[in-house]
Structure 1
Amino acid sequence: MQVVDLTHFLSQDMPVYPGTEGPRFESANTYERDGFQETRMTMYTHTGTHVDPPAHLFPGGATLDRLPITQFVGTALVIDCTDLREGGRIAMDRVERRRADADMAEFLLFRTGWDRYWGDPRYFGDYPCIGDDVAEYLVQSRKKGVGLDTIGLDPIAAAALPLHKKVLANNAFVIIENLTNLHLVGHSLFTLCALPLKHVGADGSPIRAIGLIED
């Protein structure tokens, strides 16, 4: 079995959503003073490669800790959209080309190639996004979630987050943002593990996303 890391590194100088404070890593205990090393981490729940549950936008919506652990593991398919230009929309025809596998998948992951701009101001620019028809398909086909290698499901200028609201409204769906290395999992179905931290009332969490590929 091959294991592919789909997660960006966390660091103090990493990209974060505009207006959000970056993570801080401070020495809490040292070898010299305490005989061991320990670090205090301070970060927002939507830092780096992370997952959004319904509670991110809906009062009373499911928090991560209220969703079953099976929500974060399942069959996934990467749909290549790297030919799209800035501001491009991922239309339903992309899914139709892979419809048999897409219908079987529990997660659809859209590879735009935008992860190549991680650490560059362009990452927060006019990245490709899914269209309304794709969002409707995700809801109607009862997927567990959707993932992208961009900072958001909605365009950066869409403050009302209509696509987030559309897919999260059914209360049994998650959005995975800031994925990377989607080109390494190939074109077939594979197993995605996108496990959040287990904290009470979680409106989001950094994750370690991996792809498991059978030899």
Structure 2
Amino acid sequence: MAHDWIDISQPLTNDIAHWPEDAPFSYSLTVAKKDSGSVNIGQVTTSVHTGTHVDAPFHFDDNGQTIDQLDVNLYVGEAMVIDVSHVDEVTVETLANFSFDGIKRVLLKTSHPNDPTQFPEKIPTLDPRIANLLAEKGVKLLGVNMPSVDALDSKDLATHHALYKNGINILENLMLDKIDQGNYELIALPLAIEGSDGSPVRAVLRPL
């Protein structure tokens, strides 16, 4: 029997948390059926970094690829969820004992609680050196259940840059509270927004 897909995306609501300096998410009707006689038509305004989203390298590198230039195959396929909720900082030592046999996508379940309506004051940190380890293991995508792979007040974005240098793409704000450690099939496709530094995604998992 095939397993059902599990939604691990933050729902995009008008009270979803956003980066303090960023555009909030808003959905509203531009045209109502009662007025048009035939249809409701909605509009969305948002930062591309609100909710569950992919960072394109252009987000932190003027010469980096934009979201429409990224290989869609990165965001579909087998993924490993690793529970690192017992540590405040994810280091090489934290990940050293895991076997990544042929796994190209790793999702880190940190101690950060998933409350999409609250922007956190502090999040667990990722040591930039994990990028080298993950790259050696053949990992191409790192997902986290937090708004960022760097500290919220970081200006140098050391972990973003370390991952990028190692050819590892970034998926943020996953909802992993109810997901057990293990291997899954992942679909987390970004929209092909021309020239964009990121994109919201609908991320889903299915146990293997």
Q: Same fold (TM over 0.5)?
A: yes
Q: Which residue of 1 aligns with 2:97?
A: 97
Query: After TM superposition, which residue ranges in structure 1, 4 or more long, deviate above 4 angstroms?
Result: none
Q: Which residue of 2 aligns with 1:79?
A: 82
Of Structure 1 and Structure 2, the greater helix share is in: 1
Q: CA deviation at 1:103?
A: 4.0
Q: CA deviation at 1:26?
A: 2.2
Q: Which residue of 2 aligns with 1:131?
A: 127
Q: C-alpha deviations, 1:125-181, integer Å up to 9, x for none?
A: 2211211331221233342210111111001121221110111135x4321111003
Matches of 1:124 and 1:212, distance apart in 2: 28
Q: Which residue of 2 aligns with 1:174?
A: 169
Q: Which residue of 2 aligns with 1:65?
A: 68
SS of the equivalent of 2:16 reads coil
Q: Which residue of 2 aligns with 1:107?
A: 105
Matches of 1:7 and 1:29, distance apart in 2: 27
Q: Which residue of 2 aligns with 1:118?
A: 116
Q: Which amino acid in 2 is paired with 1:78?
A: V
Q: CA deviation at 1:60?
A: 2.4
Distance 1:183 1:119, change over 3 A: same
Which residue, 56, 59, 65 being the options, matches 2:59? 56
Which sections of structure 1, spanning at least 5 residues, go unmatched? Answer: none
Distance 1:197 1:209, change over 3 A: same
Q: CA deviation at 1:182?
A: 5.0
Question: 2:1 matched to 1:3?
Answer: no
Taking structure 1 as the reference length, the TM-score comes to 0.88
**After the TM superposition, which residues 36-51 of structure 1 pair with which residues of structure 2 at under 5 Å, given as runs?**
36-51=39-54
Q: Cα RMSD (Å) of the superposition?
A: 1.7
Matches of 1:72 and 1:106, distance apart in 2: 10
Taking structure 2 as the reference length, the TM-score comes to 0.90
Count of residues paired in the alignment? 205
Q: Which residue of 2 aligns with 1:146?
A: 142
Matches of 2:204 and 2:177, distance apart in 1: 10
Matches of 1:144 and 1:182, distance apart in 2: 23
Q: Which amino acid in 1 is paired with 2:190?
A: P
Q: Which residue of 1 aligns with 2:200?
A: 206
Q: Which residue of 1 aligns with 2:154?
A: 158
Q: Which amino acid in 2 is paired with 1:93?
A: E
Q: Which amino acid in 2 is paired with 1:95?
A: L
CA contact (8 A) 1:115 1:178 kept: no
Matches of 2:114 and 2:50, distance apart in 1: 18
Which sections of structure 2, spanning at least 5 residues, go unmatched? Answer: none
Q: Which moved more, 1:74-83 or 1:150-159?
A: 74-83
